Amino acid sequence: MCAKKSGSFEDVAVVGVDIGKDTFHLVGFDRAGQLVMRKQIKRLALNATFEQLPRCIVGMEACLSAHFVSRTLRGMGFEPRIIPAIYVKPFNKGQKNDYNDAEAIAEAALRPNLRTVSEKNQDQLDLQALHRVRARLVSRRTATINQIRAFLIEQGITVRSGLRALKNSFETILEQRRDEISPRMRGILIGLYGDWLWLDKRIGDVSGEIEAISRTEENCANIMTIPGIGPMISTAMVAAVGKGEAFDRGRDFAAWVGLVPRQFSTGGRTILGRITKRGSRYLRMLFVQAAKVIMMRPHRWSDFSFGPWLSEAVARMPRNKAAIALANKLARTAWSLLRHGTRFDAPKDAAMEAI
């Protein structure tokens, strides 16, 4: 099956784009499913190349710069579809190379019932970047604290667990154990402590910016009316899914986050396992943390509409399992408020019944 000569693109009905750092590989099919284009272009030639093509469906994998490319092509009149990599994989034929990947993307883009990734606008990408920077800083701070503890243990000095305990006793340890800690090790520890303080300040600055956004964004304000959910979860959710239009119901969003049991069913027999842990790992972690914070305060459960349900859940299942169930409920409720523009304390209506 041969492609037509380069420049004969009038029959293209769908294009698969394999996005690379410097080069893009394009494969196009006509309405009959015949290969009519096979082309490699430079990133800077994207606009000039697509100006020659008829307006059609353009598929691409969800990856770095996919949202930028999607917005660019949509502005030119194309119909871009961002497809999760896991949905492209079944269409791969032969060995892995860029053209085969582009062809698989084009095949996947033709499927009418395939769920695609919602295109993110620039505000969502900026907010997502803030969360990723904060997560990296928190990870580096944890590594720095663990390194300080490890070096102290090597000197025979142990400190009880907890960030606050180490910070409050650090200077006292250096002063009281001056004879046990060598001057070089003392300098290393002081340097690490300085790194810790700098990371604290950077985390505080980024967190403050995220909180400021949550106060001015209406969707975030609506989500934050849910017990246990604050600026971090609300902004992370808006950055990830926008207004949630990619999901038909709250159950679908909870499944995307990975808070539903993994299913392996056959022959009419339903077998459920642990949670799938698919989708956004970061968002799933935040919802589980919120659930565990709520469960630490049982005296407040009666104040929430889901208090009776939570009391029954804790009584009949292990605590960690109940926390996951509560995280699932929080995620479904958050989607409903986001999608319908309501608040948690609003009267029960059709929006809440969609959970």
Structural domain span for residue 283: 218-353
CA 196-285-163 angle, to 5 degrees, is: 25
Q: Which two tokens stand for residue 251?
A: 């159950």
Statement: residue 215 has pLDDT above 70: yes
Both 226 and 338 in a single domain? yes
Residue 78 counted as domain residue: yes
pLDDT, tens digit (0-9, with 9 covering 90-100), for 142-177 = 999 999 999 999 999 999 888 899 999 999 999 988
Spatial distance between the Cα atoms of 33 and 31, rounded to a whole number of angstroms? 5
Statement: residue 271 has pLDDT above 90: no
Cβ neighbour number for residue 206 with a 10 Å cutoff:
18
Residue 204 counted as domain residue: yes
Provide the pLDDT for residue 54.
Answer: 93
pLDDT, tens digit (0-9, with 9 covering 90-100), for 322-334 = 999 999 999 999 9
Residue 3 counted as domain residue: no
Number of structural domains the chain divides into: 3
Measured in residues, the chain has a length of: 355
Provide the pLDDT for residue 180.
Answer: 85
For residue 102, the domain's CATH number is 3.30.420.40
**What is the mean pLDDT of the segment spanning 206-224?**
95
Provide the pLDDT for residue 8.
Answer: 57
Spatial distance between the Cα atoms of 208 and 261, rounded to a whole number of angstroms? 35
CA distances from 196 to 100, 222, 281 (A): 47, 35, 26
Both 174 and 250 in a single domain? no
pLDDT more than 90, % of the chain: 75
The residue out of 216, 238, 256 marking a domain boundary is: 216
**What is the mean pLDDT of the segment spanning 344-352?**
52
Both 230 and 180 in a single domain? no
pLDDT, tens digit (0-9, with 9 covering 90-100), for 1-30 = 444 444 457 889 999 999 999 999 999 999
The residue out of 216, 233, 253 marking a domain boundary is: 216
Spatial distance between the Cα atoms of 307 and 253, rounded to a whole number of angstroms? 22
Summary mean pLDDT of the chain: 90
Higher pLDDT, 265 or 56: 56
- At residue 74 the predicted structure's pLDDT band, cuts being 50, 70 and 90, is very high
**What is the mean pLDDT of the segment spanning 62-83?**
94
Q: Which two tokens stand for residue 194?
A: 């300085």
Q: Of 159, 334, 299, which is closest to residue 229 (Cα–Cα)?
A: 334
Statement: residue 349 has pLDDT above 80: no
